Structure 1
Amino acid sequence: MRVLVTGAYGFIGAHIVAALSAADHEVICVVRDARIDSRFPGLRAIACDMARDIHSADWTSRLDGIQAVVNCAGILRERGADTFAAVHEQAPLALFHASQQMGVQRVIQISALGNAIDDEFIASKHRCDEALAALDLDWLVLRPSLVYSARGSYGGTSLLRGLAALPGFVPLPGRGEQQVQPIEAEDVGAAVVAALARSQCAREVIELIGPEVMTLRDYLFAWRRWLGFGPARTLTVPATLVRMASAIGERLGNGPMGQTMTRMLERGNVGAPDAAMRLHQSLGLTPRPLLRALDETPSHVQDRWHARLYFWLPALRVLIALLWVGSGVVGWLASRTAVMALAADTPLSANASFMLARLTGTADLLLGVLCLSRWRPRLVLTLMLLMLLGYTLGIGILWPAHWLDPFGGLLKNLPLIAALAILLATDERR
């Protein structure tokens, strides 16, 4: 079957694409820039923008020869044109209307498990589900609970791994008694494959949940054990502080720490009492329990690196950015007399030294602010690295005596170069 998948390179989408490919379906990946993902080199990719492709005419040409559609596109927070209304409602509904026009009967919507009153993320997903149900289509809505994989993580699952890996303690909101019903990403992919094979399973909403209800505390300690870290104490974090941190993350960050995830965890993320039975009856699927899935997929050193670096890498980025901002401020506040004194043993004139201090100060300040704001991070980090290499090589070659500075002014650039290289190497989000 030829299947079009939106959001194909996301955490859930990639697992669905892999499962469909393994089942010998022909998958067309619909992604933002039509980039061919190295994980799926043989698959065709076409470009779309879920923030702007909100009319059925935007989708009809993409549906030529398509037999089924799986919509995995989604965002956890709004940024610019990427709004819940556009990405979760308008664009998917345009796709669904185009599917109806083009005779694509089988449509599978990957929604979200939860209560619509908790957050606009869930509410917008559910409004789209309801609008899809009114169309003359062979539709199916799948609402997964907390999705995890022992073979990788992204977003909220990475955050929870990072919390589980903190040295000596595991922070818990309240007592960590919030309930979750985690399901493997691989089982989500298997559910989509089963749904395409079972035409009789249609026009219903199915909750994708794991076989067991766990507390958040048990979930985190299961991951800590899997990662191979020793026993740890629990640190109770008052709900007020959790909400404050999520509000700050919502406004200033771009990671998973935000109000959506906090509200979902506060209420709990579990299915209806008969959800597991319905999942087995409708799709013939019995997901593995978390502990069994972890036991059958041992962790590796790379998993421990990722979990332990989860909080250190953003901290390193902030510290590097503040160093650049501080350097820029010093470059602008330094007086002409101070600059002339520093440049006394160089061939540069006083005016040239002063102008160079102002120019490099401006560049440092600009790059530091852009690094803090995460504007085009790879470009900014590359420019910072090039500037640092330029400083080090230029000064080190023209004035080699600076290598012997008792305060190690030039030598300190070497670990900074390594730190920037590490940030560049770990900047990839998927």
Structure 2
Amino acid sequence: MRVLVTGAYGFIGAHITAALVEAGHEVVCAVRSKRIDTRFPGLPAIACDMARDTAIEHWLPRLDGIDAVVNTAGILRESSAQTFHAVHEQAPLALFQAAARRGIRRVVQISALGEPADGRFIASKHRGDAALATLDLEWVILRPSLVYSARGSYGGTSLLRGMAALPWVLPLPGHGDQRLQPIAAEDVGKAVVAALHAPRAVRQTYELVGPEVMPLRHYLLLWRRWLGFASARIVATPRLLVDVAAACGERFGNGPLGLTMARMLERGNAGTPEALARMHEELGISPRSLVRALDESPSQVQDRWHARLYFLLPVLRISVALLWIISGVVGWTVSAQIVEQSAPVDALPASAVLALARCTASADVLLGVLCLLRWRPRVVLSLMLLMLAGYTIGIGTLWPMHWLDPLGGLLKNLPLLVVLPLLIATDERR
């Protein structure tokens, strides 16, 4: 079959795409235009935008020669450019209606396990499911629990890996008794392959879960052992602190930490008692346990790097942003007399030094604030790097005695010249 997969470069979408290819299907990847790359070098990719492609006419040309559609696109947070209503409801419905018009019968929708009360993410996903269920198609809706992979992570699974890798302590919300029924991303891919063919799966909704329900505490300890880290002291975190952290993540962050994830964890993310039996009987798949999945893919040094850096990199970015902001404030508050007296002899007029100091101070504050807000981070960090290199070369050349400053004024720039490329290189989320 020739299958169109939306969101094919995402964490779950990529595993589904790989499973379809392994099963012998021809896959067309539908992804945002900015993300068309060589992630699957042998597969064709077309541009789409689930935030804007909300009309049937947007999808009809993309369905030429397509036999089935798999929608994996989704967002955990809204932004000015992307809303839950558009990405989870309007665009998928337009895609499914276009498929019906083209005579494409089989459609697989990747939804999410949870209750609508957990947040607008889940609620919008389920409304999208309900809209699909009204169409005269051979639809299959799959609602996975917590999806993980030993070969990589993204979003909430990266957050949990980072928690598992914390040194010395393992902070848990409450006592870590929240119930999970995690499923491997590779098994989600197998479920999609089965859903394209299984006759009993037509017009059915399935909860995709692993073979065991476990507390969050056990889940994190297994990942910690897999990563090869020493045992840690479990620290029970009061509910109030968890709620504050979730609220701060919701308000100021753009990662998985937020109110939706906190509610889903608190309620538990496990399937109904019959979910596993239905997967086996009607889809013909038996998901692996977490222990087996980890045993089949031993951790590598890259896994340990990623887990250890998950919380360190944001702290490093914030500290760099504050350094720039404070430097800019100091540049504006220091007196003109001191600035003019610091001008290298016969190098620049004192007035030019003052103007340059004020301009660079303004640029420092602006870049620091933009870095703190994560506005186009690669561009901002690159401009910071250029400014820092300019400072270092200019001051080091015009006033070489600063290299001998006992406080290491210029010498401190050398590690920063390495830190900024590190932040640029690790900015990519997936």
TM-score tier by shorter-chain length is over 0.9
Aligned residue for 1:356? Answer: 356
Map of 2:410 onto structure 1: 410
CA contact (8 A) 1:35 1:45 kept: no
Letter in 2 for 1:131: A
Alignment of 1:268-283 (within 5 A): 268-283=268-283
CA distance in 2, matches of 1:307, 1:325: 29
Displacement of 1:38 after TM fit? 2.7
Q: Which residue of 2 aligns with 1:192?
A: 192
Give TM-score, length-normalised by structure 2: 0.98
The answer as to whether partners of 1:34 and 1:46 remain within 8 angstroms in 2 is no
The one-letter code matched in structure 2 to 1:202 is: V
Superposed, 1:45-64 pairs within 5 Å as 45-64=45-64
SS at match of 1:311: helix
- For 1:101 and 1:243, how far apart are their aligned partners in 2? 47
Task: Could you list the structure 1 runs, at least 4 aligned residues long, displaced by more than 4 angstroms after superposition.
Answer: none
By how many angstroms is 1:200 displaced?
4.1
Query: In the alignment, what sits opposite 2:391?
Result: 391
Query: Do 2:9 and 2:39's aligned partners in 1 also have CA atoms closer than 8 Å?
Result: no
**What amino acid does structure 1 have at the position aligned with 2:261?**
M
Given the alignment of the two structures, is residue 323 of structure 1 paired with residue 323 of structure 2, yes or no?
yes
CA distance in 2, matches of 1:200, 1:63: 25
Q: Which residue of 1 aligns with 2:425?
A: 425
Contact 2:347-2:398 within 8 A present in 1 as well: no
Q: 1: distance between equivalents of 2:244 and 2:50?
A: 31
* 1:259 matched residue in structure 2: 259
Measured in 1, the distance between the counterparts of 2:54 and 2:238 equals 42
TM-score with structure 1 setting the length? 0.98
The answer to whether the Cα contact below 8 Å between 1:9 and 1:37 also exists between their aligned partners in 2 is: no
CA distance in structure 2 between the aligned counterparts of 1:199 and 1:67, rounded to whole angstroms: 16
Q: 2:312 is matched with which residue?
A: 312
Counterparts of 1:7-406 in structure 2, within 5 Å, are: 7-33=7-33, 35-345=35-345, 347-406=347-406
Q: Between the two proteins, what is the percent identity of the paired residues?
A: 68
1:62-85 deviation digits (Å, cap 9, x = unpaired) = 111111100001111111131111
| 8 A contact 2:341–2:350 mirrored in 1 | no
In the aligned structure 1, how far is the partner of 2:346 from the partner of 2:19?
64
Name the CA distance, whole Å, in 1 between partners of 2:248 and 2:14.
30
Q: CA deviation at 1:123?
A: 1.0
1:333 counterpart letter in structure 2:
T
Task: Say which SS state the counterpart of residue 418 (structure 2) adopts.
Answer: helix
SS class of match (2:171): strand
Offset, 1:309: 0.7
CA distance in 1, matches of 2:418, 2:251: 30
In 2, the alpha carbon distance for the partners of 1:205 and 1:97 equals 19
In structure 2, C-alpha distance between the alignment counterparts of 1:304 and 1:319, rounded to whole Å: 23
Q: Deviations over 1:240-295 (max 9, x none)?
A: 21111111111110011011111100000001101100000111100110011111
Letter in 1 for 2:23: A
Where 1:117 maps in the other structure, the secondary structure is helix
CA contact (8 A) 2:328 2:365 kept: yes
CA contact 1:36–1:44 (8 Å) conserved in 2: no
Distance 1:286 1:126 in 2: 25
| Alpha-carbon distance between aligned partners in 1 of 2:34 and 2:193, rounded to the nearest angstrom | 24
Provide the rounded CA distance (Å) in 2 between the counterparts of 1:114 and 1:331: 51
**Cα separation, 1, equivalents of 2:235 and 2:318:** 25
- Give, in whole Å, the separation in 2 of the partners of 1:267 and 1:238: 16
1:118-173 deviation line (CA, Å, top 9, x unaligned)? 21111111111111111000100000000000010001000000111111110110
Q: Residue type of the partner of 2:327?
A: S
CA distance in 2, matches of 1:240, 1:308: 26
Q: Which runs of 5+ in 2 are unaligned?
A: none
- Does the 8 Å contact 2:138/2:202 carry over to 1? yes
Distance 1:353 1:110 in 2: 60
How far 1:346 sits from its partner (Å)? 5.3
Check the 8 A contact 1:27/1:44 in 2, yes or no. yes
Closer, same or farther in 2 for the Cα pair 1:133/1:85, shift >3 Å?
Answer: same
Cα distance change of structure 1 residues 43 and 192 upon mapping to structure 2, 3 Å threshold: same
Listed one character per residue, the Cα deviations across residues 324-372 of structure 1 (whole Å, up to 9, x for unaligned) are 0011111111221010121153511111000000110111111001100
CA distance in 1, matches of 2:332, 2:48: 45
Note the C-alpha offset of 1:397. 2.5
Offset of 1:201 from its aligned partner? 2.1
CA RMSD of aligned residues (A): 1.1
Give me the whole-angstrom Cα distance separating, in 1, the residues matched to 2:154 and 2:420: 22
